[in-house]
């Protein structure tokens, strides 16, 4: 980035001139020293920040924030509805009483950015504008060239009960040099896998695979070890394997078939720790609850629902200015399709509330959640708790 541009950006945020001069000097005429074998070399650093620079991440946040604040977004931003009090399950899409409208067109996390568009044409227009606008601040949006795919990816989310293949998901060009962005059908972000169908199938597949690998790595030395007590095995399993299995499960929308797959894995691990096979359980009529008591752990649904309720309580305590709190009672003002809707996070939350004997009425459970200590007492795992099925 040019020295004048860096000065202008830092001045915009009100930093003192002596601080700006210090930052500029750190990035002016910088040189990089490196050693190859016995030969020491030195080259000028013309782009980027110094290797290992502590101020680099902070400067990047300033620059990306300045770039976003100076945008004149060329397409319509997606609009959502929310209401501070009350649930939205069964809500009519066009209802306006007590409704607040808000826009969410970009989601930022560190150096990653997800941008939402309504149509393919909006996607092309907005991406082209974003590419040229970021270049003004010295930021490079990676696009594909020739046979090399772009790190920037697009994903199409079809309407309910509409085939994904019916849409145009061909790559689109974004600059005059032949740069393009391609469409993908699976994207991993912060450990969660996003797919066009917006279900939790891919996440469950990935979590079971990762947890199986962790359990297998510790099988001989811990879980199948005759010298270790069952309770010690249970604690290791909960701390390591179960944490991997339920990672990011707070936002899953689990159908019953997916929940059964998680239960099956959980029960298989418990039998292994108890050195009991499936044939033994049938022949001697050993109940799963008996094996769980031996290792002093609870059924999988207990841990899973506990995670959901902890996250729900955290979101319920947020002010309405926060995006997660808006989406807790949010919906899209589009007509809903006929028939039973797909499994949603709201349905999953309602099941968890019932399992812990917490009122499902929105105002009642959110009132409990605002008291952090009371909510923690109602939702955390406790010994001899009756709600373990």
Please check whether residue 149 lies inside any domain of the structure. yes
Please check whether residue 317 lies inside any domain of the structure. no
What does the pLDDT average to over 256-266? 95
Please check whether residue 236 lies inside any domain of the structure. yes
Residue 184 and residue 158 share a domain: yes
Please check whether residue 177 lies inside any domain of the structure. yes
Residue 288 and residue 255 share a domain: yes
Q: Which of 81-85, 108-112, 118-122 has the highest mean pLDDT?
A: 118-122
Number of separate domains in the chain: 3
Residue 193 and residue 207 share a domain: no
What does the pLDDT average to over 376-389? 60
Above 80 in pLDDT, residue 127? yes
More confident residue, 204 or 4: 204
Instruction: List all residues 6 or more positions away from 206 whose beta carbon is below 8 Å from its beta carbon.
Output: 193
Residue 232 and residue 212 share a domain: yes
Residue 29 and residue 13 share a domain: yes
CB atoms within 10 A of CB 326: 21
Q: Pick the last residue of a domain from 147, 179, 198.
A: 198
| The token pair that represents 224 in the structure block | 């199948």
What does the pLDDT average to over 23-52? 73
Q: Which of 30-39, 78-87, 174-183 has the highest mean pLDDT?
A: 174-183
Q: What is the pLDDT of residue 384?
A: 43
Residue 122 and residue 188 share a domain: yes
Above 80 in pLDDT, residue 82? yes
pLDDT band at 9 (very low <50, low <70, confident <90, very high): low
What does the pLDDT average to over 76-95? 72
Phi and psi torsions of 336, nearest 5°:
-85, 145
Residue 55 and residue 20 share a domain: yes
pLDDT tens per residue, range 206-236: 999 999 999 999 999 999 999 999 999 999 9
Please check whether residue 39 lies inside any domain of the structure. yes
Gap between the Cα atoms of 320 and 312, Å rounded: 14
Q: What is the pLDDT of residue 69?
A: 80
Above 80 in pLDDT, residue 51? no
* Percent of the chain's residues with pLDDT above 70: 85
The 8 Å CB, 24+ separation contacts for 320-325 are 320/82, 320/84, 320/100, 323/104
What does the pLDDT average to over 41-57? 67
* Percent of the chain's residues with pLDDT above 90: 49
Gap between the Cα atoms of 219 and 241, Å rounded: 11
Q: What is the pLDDT of residue 388?
A: 45
Q: Which of 19-28, 47-56, 107-116 has the highest mean pLDDT?
A: 107-116
What does the pLDDT average to over 28-40? 79
Least confident among 149-153, 189-193, 244-248, 303-307: 189-193
Please check whether residue 27 lies inside any domain of the structure. yes
pLDDT tens per residue, range 290-337: 999 999 999 999 999 999 999 999 999 999 999 999 999 888 887 777
Residue 209 and residue 150 share a domain: no
Can you give the residue range of the structural domain that contains 191?
A: 117-198
pLDDT band at 33 (very low <50, low <70, confident <90, very high): confident
What does the pLDDT average to over 16-43? 76
Residue 278 and residue 248 share a domain: yes
CB 286 within 8 A of CB 276: yes
pLDDT tens per residue, range 90-105: 455 556 667 888 998 8
CB 234 within 8 A of CB 242: no
Please check whether residue 31 lies inside any domain of the structure. yes
Q: Pick the last residue of a domain from 264, 297, 330.
A: 297
Residue 226 and residue 187 share a domain: no
Least confident among 51-60, 177-186, 330-339: 51-60
Gap between the Cα atoms of 96 and 331, Å rounded: 12
Above 70 in pLDDT, residue 279? yes
Residue 40 and residue 122 share a domain: no
More confident residue, 385 or 372: 372
Residue 221 and residue 292 share a domain: yes
Strands 330-331 and 100-103: unpaired
Please check whether residue 133 lies inside any domain of the structure. yes
Q: Pick the last residue of a domain from 275, 297, 319.
A: 297
Above 60 in pLDDT, residue 88? no
Least confident among 48-57, 226-235, 287-296, 337-346: 48-57
Q: What is the pLDDT of residue 99?
A: 84
Above 80 in pLDDT, residue 252? yes
| The token pair that represents 172 in the structure block | 């689109």
């Amino acid at each position: 980035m040019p020295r004048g541009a860096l000065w202008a950006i830092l001045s915009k945020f009100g930093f003192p001139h002596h601080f700006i001069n210090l930052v500029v000097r750190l990035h002016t005429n910088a040189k990089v020293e490196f050693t190859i074998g016995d030969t020491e070399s030195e080259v000028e650093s013309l782009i980027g920040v110094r290797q290992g620079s502590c101020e680099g991440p902070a400067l990047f946040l300033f620059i990306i924030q300045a770039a976003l604040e100076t945008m004149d977004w060329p397409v319509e931003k997606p609009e959502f509805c929310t209401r501070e009090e009350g649930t939205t399950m069964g809500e009519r899409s066009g209802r306006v009483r007590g409704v607040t409208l808000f826009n969410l067109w970009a989601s930022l996390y560190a150096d990653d950015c997800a941008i939402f568009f309504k149509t393919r044409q909006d996607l092309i227009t907005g991406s082209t504008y974003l590419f040229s606008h970021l270049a003004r601040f010295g930021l490079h949006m990676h696009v594909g060239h020739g046979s090399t795919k772009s790190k920037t990816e697009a994903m199409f989310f079809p309407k309910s009960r509409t085939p994904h293949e019916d849409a145009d998901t061909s790559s689109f060009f974004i600059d005059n040099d032949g740069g393009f962005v391609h469409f993908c059908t699976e994207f991993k972000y912060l450990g969660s896998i996003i797919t066009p169908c917006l279900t939790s199938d891919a996440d469950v597949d990935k979590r079971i695979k990762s947890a199986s690998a962790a359990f297998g790595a510790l099988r001989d030395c811990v879980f199948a070890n005759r010298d270790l007590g069952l309770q010690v095995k249970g604690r290791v399993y909960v701390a390591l394997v179960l944490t991997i299995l339920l990672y990011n499960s707070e936002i899953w929308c689990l159908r019953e078939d997916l929940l059964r797959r998680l239960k099956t894995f959980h029960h298989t691990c418990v039998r292994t720790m108890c050195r009991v096979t499936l044939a033994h359980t049938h022949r001697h009529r050993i109940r799963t609850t008996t094996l769980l008591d031996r290792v002093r752990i609870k059924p999988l649904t207990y841990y899973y629902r506990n995670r959901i309720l902890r996250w729900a309580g955290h979101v319920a305590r947020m002010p309405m200015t926060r995006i997660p709190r808006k989406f807790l009672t949010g919906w899209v003002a589009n007509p809903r399709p006929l028939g039973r809707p797909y499994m949603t996070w709201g349905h999953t939350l309602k099941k968890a509330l019932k399992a812990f004997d917490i009122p499902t009425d929105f105002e009642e459970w959110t009132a409990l959640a605002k008291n952090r200590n009371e909510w923690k007492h109602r939702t955390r795992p406790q010994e001899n708790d009756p709600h373990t099925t």
